[in-house]
Structure 1
Amino acid sequence: MPPCPSALRLARRGTVTGLAAAGLLLLTGCFAEGSGTSSAEGADGATDARIQAAMMQPPRSGLSPFSDDAFKLSRWSTGETLIRLDEAGDAQPMLATEWEQVDETTWSFTIRDGVTFHDGTALTAENAAASLARAVAAEPAPRILDGVEMDVAAEGDTVRVTTAEVDPLVPQRLSSPQLSILAPAAYEEAAVSPVGHGTGPFELTSLDGTSGATLERYEDYWGGAAAVAGIDVSFVPDGTARAAALRTGEADVVESVPVGQAAQVDEELLTEVPMPRTNTLYLNTEDGPFTDPALRAAAREALDPQSLVDGVYEGRADTAAGLLGPAIPYAAEGRDTAAYRQLLADRAAAGDPAGEKIIIGTFTDRAELPEVAVQLQQQLEATGFEVELDVREYQYIEADALEGDFDAFILSRATVLDSGDPVAYMVSDFGCAGSFNLSRFCSETVDAALAAAEQAPPGEERRQAIMAAEAAILAEDAAIPMLHERVIQGEQDGVEGAARDPRERELITAETTVAE
């Protein structure tokens, strides 16, 4: 591949460091020359401008909709689902215009008229049902369907979804990008191909391996043509290179500028988006010193999360008041109740560590966590614990963490999974049978609260049950939430309408524009 003229020109002028220029050249390939510079306006406000997007991770599964790559399809507005979620996590129409619960386990979704796939095929209930059925049958199953038995069939202009068990979150599940509806031709080969087969305002026209992707405006989009002519995507795993691409104008929109690079970029180009992700210290309640509630309380009182926010995260995070942070709109209000406060008031009093030795594990894959571990070590030792750290790559430490080999484990954990609902995370991490129960925690009180939350219908009743479950978990100090992370999104001056989505489902939309 020939070198990027623009990146070489910047390097010669000295406007980027050699490292940044190398990152731009070797990791990203070339950002398209001249893109995003034209502002000639066409019909309905559309222009021939293009948006340059620098994405953090390359595809891992060839943009298979059944994998995490599906979130790229939704962030580029090429793949769409029957349902979308609003800010509160409530289901809203997308490719389905309305729905009803027929009985306890059956739901009916009415398919939107006038929608065509990018290959010109009309969207029907039959091909929508067939697309969902392929996801249901996929191996491995899309994460949103893990443990869910579901049958899908077309019935007139509706798609009927039947589950083996009562599931009040069926509409929310169908909002997951992993259940994007693609044209029948997408499934003709063994590997599902989203290229040219979505329904969104942008058509994915090419994927260049792990280097980049190209999307063009789909003129027949059911919601009206997009404002820009297309999107040119570069995959830039190196955070220094992403920051350099923003700083030098090589990219219009940049995913996840690292905290350590933010100071090198004009602050006006950065937007901090609260994430549904909590940095948490999980305490082993089954074996070792933290089987004692008094020592769990001692650890809680020893920690100073604000120092982590100010030091490690350079102020670009929020101290945790609970498991759920500011990305969950109802969390703060849910804590402002007498019942919630009473549960926390009844927590065990702190005991004396008296030199108890504890081993804390964490991983290097998230750059901040090793530094968090060092600060926690200092804070806990100041209280009387003797602390040993074990820091490795995540792939080499996860099994040991799940086996309970550590007294405590530091984890940056997503608290809202694909359904847009935190109950699954709580059950996984704090239920007696939880599949990701690093605390080895089991409480009849907490299990009852989690069951109530699982069974509650979406809306205010479910939100209240979720907050009651959070209080029950925190009351037993199985885990100590420390801070809620933010993602730093970069946008060039002149970019308007890029989505700032805590769930990372949206980024470039039909309304996103870029000035000359």
Structure 2
Amino acid sequence: MRLPARRLLPATALTAASALLTGCFAGAENTADAGADGKRVRVAMMQPPRSGLSPLSDDAFKLSRWSTAETLVKLDEDGDARPALATKWQQSGRTWTFEIRDGVTFHDGTKLTPEAVVTSLTKAATASPKPRILDGVDLTAKAAGDKVTVTTATEDPLVPQRLSSPQLSILAAKAYQGKTVDPVGAGTGPFELTKVNGTASASLDRYDAYWGGKAKAPGIDVTFVPDGTARAAALRSGEADIVEAIPVSQAAVLDQDLITEVPMPRTNTFYLNTEQGAFKDASLRAAAREAIDAESIVEGVYEGRADVAEGLLGPALPWASELRSPVEHAKAGRPNGTEITIGTFTDRAELPEVAAALQQQLQKAGFKVKLDIREYANIESDALAGRFDAFILSRATVLDSGDPAAYLYSDFASKGTFNIAQLASPEVDKALQKASGAKVGDARRKAVMAAEAAVLAADAAVPLLHERVIQGDAAGVVDAAHDPRERELVTADTYVK
């Protein structure tokens, strides 16, 4: 397959975008006083707030990335829970007891207490709709002296990981006084959210009483820039210090020293319908797998800015490759003109190109391939109902808990709610149940990889590639976070020279 040339952004587009951004960042530039404390950090972010920065929505991840709202625990690189606003915890059946960190104050000056923690967790647990980390989870919180107890309806080994979700941030009582949750001046992090200008911008100032030590930057000025061309231009012109989510098509025109490609826990996967149609035949599933050249897709569609998949779980989970074992597959059969229909959606710009590449590869192997490409909202129900022989999906492989077992169960268990492969395998179900119930740590990770191997052995899915997020940091930026889970961006250690 002939690879397309890299798509270059015209200089005129960059000039126009730069002019657009100049007005957006003008106010931030005026406040970027260089002094003993350095400069304020100017950030260009992709998505504007959708719910007024309520932590009970996906806006919670912005609060986390600005280091203004914090949770009881945080996750390390392996997805294990580590202390944050809670210093330690222990489990007793369905109940977990958390010791709350002493000496922490909210940005309004009030103290962090067990009662404040209970208020935040209860608001989240009783919200409608609930934060997705609590979907299907019945959770109650109570204050017990200087501790907080969290009880679930059934025993849950992932409670600490769940409590790391930015949607379960702990805020001051003032945040809950209105009809919506208002995080302004209500967090505990090194930066205090002081002003939100609708969907245009936000400002944060350093909180000098932060329990973890004084931040190195005096503040953060955020501008929401949905247009990828404009975000790229802001980095190139020096109008922004940190730029998130630079599109692949524009990365090539930027100074490569200013770009960091961060592996995401997201896999582009080719799901095969194991219940009906051509791919009910395991030998034809094997033939499809052998026909696919993922490397050419990475180079041609993603311009080399993705990682060829070795399994369902990618480099964003560094332990996965270390624990992965070879998989035995069924012998490939002969397609002999077998007709198949592949579905995917337009919402992610690269997926139609991926579909076209797969069409060519599978036709070369002897399949007759038809494509059905629509908006996701118009195609999801057909995919879940098994109306395609195969489906291409870009899928997050860890949910808010940082644990991949839930994704694997959802997508490949016979009772999974997102089982596009229509897989019903006793061997796979057994492996998934073991992974879901295993204790957090090495035992759970090994069980997860055994479940991945069972899915791959069935050829229910062919992992193609792992996506990356491209982040831009100006030359003067020091210690910006490069977080695969997109929970951190500007931390207490981040500053601009």
Query: Equivalences for 1:169-188 in 2 at 5 Å?
Result: 169-188=158-177
1:156 aligns with 2:145: yes
RMSD value, Cα: 1.6
1:485 aligns with 2:494: no
Q: Could you tell me which of 109, 114, 129 is aligned with 1:120?
A: 109
1:356 aligns with 2:338: yes
Please tell me whether the aligned partners of residues 482 and 489 of structure 2 are also in contact (alpha carbons under 8 angstroms).
yes
SS of corresponding position for 2:103: coil
What's 2:6 paired with?
Answer: none
1:139 to partner: Cα distance: 0.7
What's 2:24 paired with?
Answer: 30
Structure 1 residues 398 and 24: CA distance shift in structure 2, 3 A: farther
- Greater displacement, 281-290 / 30-39: 30-39
- Greater displacement, 439-448 / 168-177: 439-448
1:135 aligns with 2:124: yes
- Greater displacement, 431-440 / 86-95: 431-440
What's 1:317 paired with?
Answer: 306
1:298 to partner: Cα distance: 0.7
The separation in 1 between residues aligned to 2:421 and 2:48, in whole angstroms, is 33
What's 1:249 paired with?
Answer: 238
Structure 1 residues 109 and 254: CA distance shift in structure 2, 3 A: same
SS of corresponding position for 1:186: helix
Q: Could you tell me which of 44, 47, 61 is aligned with 1:57?
A: 47
1:294 aligns with 2:283: yes
What's 1:111 paired with?
Answer: 100
1:17 to partner: Cα distance: 4.4
- Greater displacement, 207-216 / 493-502: 207-216
Q: Could you tell me which of 136, 141, 154 is aligned with 1:165?
A: 154
The separation in 2 between residues aligned to 1:482 and 1:158, in whole angstroms, is 46
Please tell me whether the aligned partners of residues 28 and 235 of structure 1 are also in contact (alpha carbons under 8 angstroms).
no
1:509 aligns with 2:494: no
Q: Which runs of 5+ in 2 are unaligned?
A: 1-8
The separation in 2 between residues aligned to 1:512 and 1:40, in whole angstroms, is 16
1:146 to partner: Cα distance: 0.5
The separation in 2 between residues aligned to 1:177 and 1:328, in whole angstroms, is 19
1:317 to partner: Cα distance: 1.0
SS of corresponding position for 1:426: helix
Structure 1 residues 18 and 435: CA distance shift in structure 2, 3 A: same
- Aligned partner letter, 1:227: K
Q: Could you tell me which of 386, 399, 409 is aligned with 2:381?
A: 399
SS of corresponding position for 1:333: helix
What's 2:61 paired with?
Answer: 71
Structure 1 residues 353 and 16: CA distance shift in structure 2, 3 A: closer
SS of corresponding position for 1:397: helix
The separation in 1 between residues aligned to 2:107 and 2:275, in whole angstroms, is 54
1:19 to partner: Cα distance: 3.3
What's 2:456 paired with?
Answer: 474
The separation in 1 between residues aligned to 2:346 and 2:234, in whole angstroms, is 25
Q: Could you tell me which of 6, 15, 19 is aligned with 2:13?
A: 19
Please tell me whether the aligned partners of residues 36 and 52 of structure 1 are also in contact (alpha carbons under 8 angstroms).
no
1:329 aligns with 2:318: yes
- Aligned partner letter, 1:469: A
Q: Could you tell me which of 428, 438, 458 is aligned with 2:410?
A: 428
What's 1:209 paired with?
Answer: 198
The separation in 2 between residues aligned to 1:72 and 1:409, in whole angstroms, is 31
Alpha-carbon displacement from aligned partner over 1:180-203 (angstroms, at most 9, x marks no partner): 001111111111111111111111
1:384 aligns with 2:374: no
What's 2:209 paired with?
Answer: 220
Please tell me whether the aligned partners of residues 28 and 234 of structure 1 are also in contact (alpha carbons under 8 angstroms).
no
Structure 1 residues 439 and 514: CA distance shift in structure 2, 3 A: same
1:130 to partner: Cα distance: 1.0
Please tell me whether the aligned partners of residues 35 and 50 of structure 1 are also in contact (alpha carbons under 8 angstroms).
no
The separation in 2 between residues aligned to 1:482 and 1:440, in whole angstroms, is 19
- Aligned partner letter, 2:490: I
The separation in 2 between residues aligned to 1:35 and 1:249, in whole angstroms, is 14
What's 2:71 paired with?
Answer: 81
The separation in 1 between residues aligned to 2:176 and 2:32, in whole angstroms, is 37
The separation in 2 between residues aligned to 1:215 and 1:21, in whole angstroms, is 29
1:164 to partner: Cα distance: 0.8
The separation in 2 between residues aligned to 1:19 and 1:394, in whole angstroms, is 29
The separation in 2 between residues aligned to 1:315 and 1:155, in whole angstroms, is 53
The separation in 2 between residues aligned to 1:173 and 1:64, in whole angstroms, is 18
SS of corresponding position for 1:310: helix
Please tell me whether the aligned partners of residues 495 and 513 of structure 1 are also in contact (alpha carbons under 8 angstroms).
yes
Q: Which TM-score applies when normalising by structure 2?
A: 0.96
What's 2:395 paired with?
Answer: 413
SS of corresponding position for 1:64: coil
Please tell me whether the aligned partners of residues 206 and 215 of structure 2 are also in contact (alpha carbons under 8 angstroms).
yes
- Aligned partner letter, 1:482: L
What's 1:40 paired with?
Answer: 35
Alpha-carbon displacement from aligned partner over 1:31-66 (angstroms, at most 9, x marks no partner): 13536854311xxxxx15111101111111111111
1:501 to partner: Cα distance: 0.5
- Aligned partner letter, 2:395: R
Number of matched pairs: 488
Alpha-carbon displacement from aligned partner over 1:456-507 (angstroms, at most 9, x marks no partner): 1111111110110000010001110011111111000010110010111000
1:404 to partner: Cα distance: 1.7
1:329 to partner: Cα distance: 1.2
Q: Which runs of 5+ in 1 are unaligned?
A: 1-14, 42-46
What's 2:347 paired with?
Answer: 365
- Greater displacement, 62-71 / 399-408: 399-408
